[in-house]
Amino acid sequence: MLFTSYAFLGFLATLFLLYYLVPGRFQWKLLLAASYLFYFAAGPAWLLYILATTVTTYFAALRIEDMGRRQKAYIKANKDQLSREEKKAYKNRIKSGQWRWLLACLLFNLGILAVVKYTNFAISNVNGLLRAVGSARQFGFWDIALPMGISFYTFQALGYLIDVYRGTVEAERNPGRLALFVSFFPQLIQGPISRFGDLAQSLFAEHGFDGKRFSYGLERILWGYFKKLVIADRILTGVNAIIRDTGTYRGAYVFVGMLFYALELYADFTGGIDITIGIAQSLGIGVKENFRRPYFSKSVKEYWRRWHITMGTWFTDYIFYPISVCKPMLKFSRFARAHFGECIGKRAPVYLSSFAVWLATGIWHGASWNFVVWGLGNWVILMVSQELEPLYARFHGRFRVQGSWWFKLFQVVRTVLLMSCLRTFDCYRDVPLTFRMFGTLFTEGNWHILWDGSLLGLGLSVVDYGVLLAGLALLVTVSLLQRSGSVRDRIAAKPYPVRFLVWYGLFLAVLLAGAYGIGYDASQFIYNQF
């Protein structure tokens, strides 16, 4: 069920009506039923996958918590009879048992994810190796449907399980509540990846109707549809034209494609997140923000603090920190300090942990080498930037340009171009082809296409470009205004005629300028593939 379909709008309207008609104690149960109905409509067989994740996570979390409670009760009851060594041995035995339950659940659910998402990728690589050594044997690909949002709900469920293991949240004793946390339908498409401790309170609470909150949610949904339908789906036509005909669209067209895709990806992803957060807000549920104006970032490091924030914090908390402080890494750090000096000894564990994070990030984004290269490309840029920080400091100390508006603009443009260059791996989905196409930027010499009307051959008319420029101008304006507070609050403070004109105008823009109808295909959100 596409977010942009009439069926989804009807589904959403019905849910809103029923949600505020039923008694408050039944609201979360209604959301659970709606979430499973939504997932059933997307693919009935996929329910087995999300049920498997939910059930295994539920029982593993209960077992881990119960073992911890039993440990505390036993030590409290026998504190006078047990020696320090006996207490330590008992704690270690319980901890080992908890770890086995955690590991089993992690391996089971990550195994499901690996099988459905990466089996054919593995087969493709094995077949490539066999061809390289001259073998005629080839393995057939599996016909495995990738369940919608499996990466998102798997990571969300496993984050909850790890938090229970760490003791930062209590295990949910009600299986229905945990099922809702895992399957909450607005998040299934593309996140955000919520933490149980952040979402649970508002997700399961009773919510009376609040007119202001409900209208704010609808406004956020409308803004999301504007980004998706008016900007992302319109510019997608140009992106597809460039990346599908690599023989024709080379050189400067690659540069145009980079910028087009950067705008499409941002409008598509943030538009979907706006719809998600807007739906949740309309229901009285608080969902974490996932973006904070990333294209205004002055460095790649800052960019990744602002882009897909919940994914970044997930990888940091559950991969980076555990690896950086694990016993093998601490031993390696001591070895590096002793043999290579204090400087390398301090940096090496951080760089290796970051390498693991970005490798996992690339693999998470897709079963293809282009995503792996994209992830490691980000890692290289971040590590090089970190090593160059002393040089930057000397530069700023000498020339005193930091803080000037033109230098900030230079930093923003540089960051956008760097990230757009890396995203070419996402566009072409083939590593050698990406490098070849990027190389044509410097060999073709066809920059005249930027002003001679050639861009009209990409399937976009003069009107389309006008709509895109107006949409981009509105995006930039809203982003600038957001730096000083909520735009919706500002609009709400205006007289009613002004508020009406703003929101009705945005509604008409979506209705009249949205990319649908003849010549357009309904497109799912980009991150639905993950």
Higher per-residue confidence, 267 vs 144: 267
Q: How confident is the model at residue 42 (pLDDT cuts 50, 70, 90)?
A: confident
d(CA 92, CA 165): 14
Q: What is the mean pLDDT of the chain?
A: 90
**CB count in 10 Å sphere of residue 305:** 14
- How far apart CA 296 and CA 267 sit, in angstroms, is 15
pLDDT beyond 70 at 509: yes
- What is the model's pLDDT at position 253? 94
Burial call 253-280: b when 16+ CB within 10 Å, e when fewer: bbbbbbebbbbbbbbbbbbbbbbbbbbb
Angle at 411 between CA 427 and CA 294, to 5 degrees: 55
* Mean pLDDT of the region 127-132: 86
Contact 62, 172 (CB under 8 A): no
Terminal-residue alpha carbon distance, the chain: 16
Task: Answer for the pair 171, 108: CB distance below 8 angstroms, yes or no.
Answer: no
Q: Which pLDDT score, from 0 to 100, does residue 524 have?
A: 57
Interatomic CA distance for residues 179 and 76, integer angstroms: 34
Structure-token match 């924030």, residue found:
309
User: Which two structure tokens, joined as six digits, stand for 28?
Assistant: 């979360």
**For the purposes of burial, counting CB atoms within 10 Å of the CB of 394, is it exposed (0-12), middle (13-18) or buried (19 or more)?**
exposed
pLDDT confidence of 520, banded at 50, 70, 90? low
Residue with structure tokens 């087969």?
123
d(CA 349, CA 331): 10
In this prediction, residue 194 carries a pLDDT of: 92
Residue 147: pLDDT above 90? no
According to the model, what pLDDT value does residue 84 have? Answer: 82
Q: What is the pLDDT of residues 316-362, one digit of tens each?
A: 999 998 888 888 888 888 888 877 777 777 888 888 999 999 999 99
Cα(269)–Cα(173) distance, rounded to whole angstroms?
A: 34
Which two three-digit tokens encode residue 458? Answer: 């990409």
| Predicted local confidence at residue 304, as pLDDT | 94
**Does pLDDT of 369 surpass 60?**
yes
Residue 236 binned pLDDT confidence (cut-offs 50, 70, 90): very high
Position with higher pLDDT, 518 vs 293: 293
pLDDT at 177 over 60: yes
pLDDT tops 60 at residue 527: no
As a whole number, mean pLDDT of residues 233-247 equals 92
User: What's the confidence (pLDDT) of residue 517?
Assistant: 54
pLDDT of 81 reads: 82
Helix axes 462-482, 252-282, angle to 10 degrees: 50
| pLDDT of 513 above 90 | no
* Stronger pLDDT, 144 or 219, i.e. the higher one: 219
Predicted confidence band of residue 526 (pLDDT cuts 50, 70, 90): low
pLDDT, tens digit (0-9, with 9 covering 90-100), for 447-488: 999 999 899 999 999 999 999 999 999 999 999 999 888 899
| Predicted local distance difference test score (pLDDT) of residue 331 | 85
Provide the percentage of residues in the chain whose pLDDT is more than 90.
Answer: 64
For 403-427, give one letter per residue: b (16+ CB within 10 A) or e: eeeeeeeebbeebbebbbbbbbbbb
The stretch 410-434 carries a mean pLDDT of 91
| 157 token code pair | 């469920």
174: pLDDT strictly greater than 80? yes
* Spans of all domains in the chain: 19-208, 219-470+513-529
Is residue 139 a contact partner of residue 123, using CB atoms and an 8 Å limit? yes
Distance separating alpha carbons of residues 312 and 143, to the nearest angstrom: 32
**Predicted local distance difference test score (pLDDT) of residue 77:** 83
